[in-house]
Structures are given as C-alpha cells and as structure tokens.
Amino acid sequence: MLIHSRDKGFVHPHASEITPRGVYEGRRDLLKLMATGAAGAALAGWAGREALAGVTPPGKLAALPGAASSVPGAQTMEKISDYKDATSYNNYYEFGTDKGDPVKNAHTLKTRPWTVEVEGLVKKPGKYAIEDLIKLSAQEERIYRLRCVEGWSMVIPWVGYSLAELIKKVEPQGNAKYVEFVTLADPKTMPFVGSRVLDWPYAEGLRMDEAMHPLTLLTFGMYGEVLPNQNGAPVRIVVPWKYGFKSAKSIVKIRFVEKEPGTAWNKAAANEYGFFSNVNPNVDHPRWSQATERRIGDGSSLFAKRQKTLMFNGYEAQVGQLYAGMDLKKFY
Ligand code: MTE
C-alpha cells in the first residue's frame, strides 16, 4: 500500500507491494479499433502510429477527436503508453491513495452538469457550461510525456486546446500575475475528500507566463475520447514540463490572482513540493533522486530498466527561457 500522510508526502511503496505490470493482454488489432468507430479522426494520429505497438484500444467513451497539434513540442516519436496503463495506474487522491483506487472508485464522479467558473482579476469573468468550454477553441491532439514526482512516467495522447485560448478570451487585468485551478471536492461522490491526506479542494497554480505558454493544455480528452473519470473528467490541466501533480483534475474554478496561490502539495509539505515543480533531474526530492524514471509498461519491478529524466521533462527548448536567471534549486 502507498502510505501517505501530511508529514510524509509521497512515499515509495516497497518492492513487494508493487502490482505486477507489463503483463497486459496481447496486442490489439487496428481494424478492431476502427470497427468501434469511437476514436474517429484521432485514429490518424496516435492510433495509426501505435497500431503495431500494442496499445490497448479505448472505445468505451464518447469520441473526442483532435487534429494533430503543430505547437512545437506537442508531438513525440516515443512509444505511447497503453490506454489500460494510463487509465488504471493513477493518482487521484479524492478517490483513494493507491494507484488502482481511482479506476475502481471514480465511477461515482458526476461530470454532467458541469460548470467552470472563471473569476478574479479578469475583465470578462463568467461561468462556462462544460459543453461550451469544449467548443471554445479547436481540439488538438498533443502527445506529452507525463512525469510523476514519484519517479514514473507515461506518454499520453491528450486532446484539448492551449489554456492561452481561454485566457485571451477572458482578458486578464494588468495585476493578474498567477492563475489558480480549483478542483471539485464533493464528499458525496469522492470518498477520500473527508480524509486528512490533503487540504481539499485540491488546488494548483501557475505563473501567468506559464499558463499562457502554448504547451499548457486545457484538456478534455485522451486517446481520441473524452477523459475517463479517473483521469480528471470532464476537464483538467496538463503542464508537460512540470511534475504530474501540477496537472489538476476535474477543475471547477479558474481564478486570476495577484499573489502566488497556495497549492495542495505545497501546503502538505512545502520543503518537498515547491510552487514551480519543474521536472529537474538535478534537484533531488529530499527523500529520493529525480535523476531517472521508470516508464510504465516497460517492466514490472523496481529493478526494471530506468531511463534518464530530462531537464524540464524534455521541453527545455520550449520553456527554458521562462526560468532564465532563476535559481532552480531555490525555486524548485
Ligand atoms: N488532481 C486532483 N484533483 N487530485 C489528485 O490527487 N493527482 C496529481 C494530478 N492531478 C491529482 C490531480 C498527480 S500526483 C498526478 S501524477 C497526475 O494527476 C496523474 O494524472 P493521470 O492519472 O492522468 O496520469
């Protein structure tokens, strides 16, 4: 079991407690996938490429195709993670602290009706029904590495559009320096919201220039379909150069503020989880190294092959300049 407490933050499981992975069913047939008709145009993107690579097809949720993004850094030739891994090995503490809890428990999350409130220092605040938010800009497919602070990673084809599109529409005021993301905390549908593991609601934040960066994705889907509940339906953020915990799930408020907002993990253990949380192989977590990572699907044990973690998770060319002159050991 993954033990977790206010004081301890993320705690590595013991080797004997790791659920065996990499034993998922054999390869799937692209024709079968296409027969489901579910992924539509997105098939041309990730599915076309991964047909031979053994990605388990989705096909159970509503289609949400996105055109292959031309934003620099939004594509990669790395092997895409299996859909089954991406949807059954999750962190979503509102539904439990074990990696397998969200897929078991998140069916209770009610994703309709759903409203996202945009508030704070903007000229055009407002409430968006999720259906309208989805239509606000063209959906794109972005294939991003997601690197969790715990030392594992996946490669996932997300569907959404740059958060900057929304930000431009709501017109931030000059004194808006940060964007805060507040997520749903509903004790009736989220069994762990009553627990003391974190301060609920789970909240995250970005500096305005980070939020405006084209790679920051307001995300509605993955693998050509809408997000499964356990991955943060109906809308989440994905910030590919930061540790996964910055990518807040099931967002209900986007708030523009002047001061750096408090964030869930920073409040829980400030010495372990800073506000920036940029992926950085040179800055260790106080209790473990961040130099390498285990790609989920590449082997089952702690001794499985690990790969080097890249500065800014491999997005240095795109985002490095945002942090020019900053001491990244201090601003971790
Ligand atoms: N968002 C909420 N609301 N609650 C959470 O517990 N966990 C974070 C992030 N967003 C979390 C969250 C962490 S630690 C990670 S690694 C990613 O979601 C995992 O996203 P995934 O399950 O889609 O891979």
The confidence score (pLDDT) of residue 2 equals 41
Ligand 1 and 248: CB distance under 6 A? yes
| Cα–Cα distance for residue pair 49/174, rounded to 1 Å | 44
Ligand 1 center to 226 CA (angstroms):
17
Alpha carbon 252 to its chain's center: 16
| Cα–Cα distance for residue pair 119/17, rounded to 1 Å | 43
Ligand 1 center to 150 CA (angstroms):
12
The confidence score (pLDDT) of residue 10 equals 63
Ligand 1 center to 123 CA (angstroms):
30
Residue 149: inside a domain: yes
Q: How many other CB atoms sit within 10 Å of the CB of residue 106?
A: 26
Residue 1: inside a domain: no
Residue 2: inside a domain: no
Ligand 1 center to 39 CA (angstroms):
24
Ligand 1 and 243: CB distance under 6 A? no
The whole-number mean pLDDT for each consecutive block of 10 residues of the chain, a chain of 332 residues, reads 49 40 29 40 60 61 94 94 94 97 97 98 98 98 97 97 98 98 98 94 98 98 95 98 98 98 97 97 97 88 84 98 97 96
Residue 5: inside a domain: no
Q: Which domain holds residue 231?
A: 16-323
The confidence score (pLDDT) of residue 40 equals 46
Closest CA to ligand 1's atom 13:
245
Domains in the chain: how many in total?
Answer: 1
Count CA within 13 A, CB hemisphere, residue 1: 5
Tell how strand 225-226 and strand 67-68 pair up: unpaired
Ligand 1 and 87: CB distance under 6 A? no
List the CATH number of the domain containing 55.
3.90.420.10
Ligand 1 and 247: CB distance under 6 A? yes
Ligand 1 and 231: CB distance under 6 A? yes
Atom of ligand 1 nearest to the CA of 222: 23
Residue 9: inside a domain: no
3-state helix, strand, coil in the chain (%, to 5): 25, 25, 55
Closest CA to ligand 1's atom 10:
248
The confidence score (pLDDT) of residue 60 equals 84
| Cα–Cα distance for residue pair 39/169, rounded to 1 Å | 29
The confidence score (pLDDT) of residue 8 equals 53
Tell how strand 251-257 and strand 236-238 pair up: unpaired
Residue 151: inside a domain: yes
Residue 10: inside a domain: no
Closest CA to ligand 1's atom 8:
245
Residue 177: inside a domain: yes
The confidence score (pLDDT) of residue 257 equals 98
**Could you tell me the pTM of the whole model?**
0.88
Q: Are 216 and 205 in contact (CB under 8 A)?
A: no
Alpha carbon 279 to its chain's center: 13
Ligand 1 and 92: CB distance under 6 A? yes
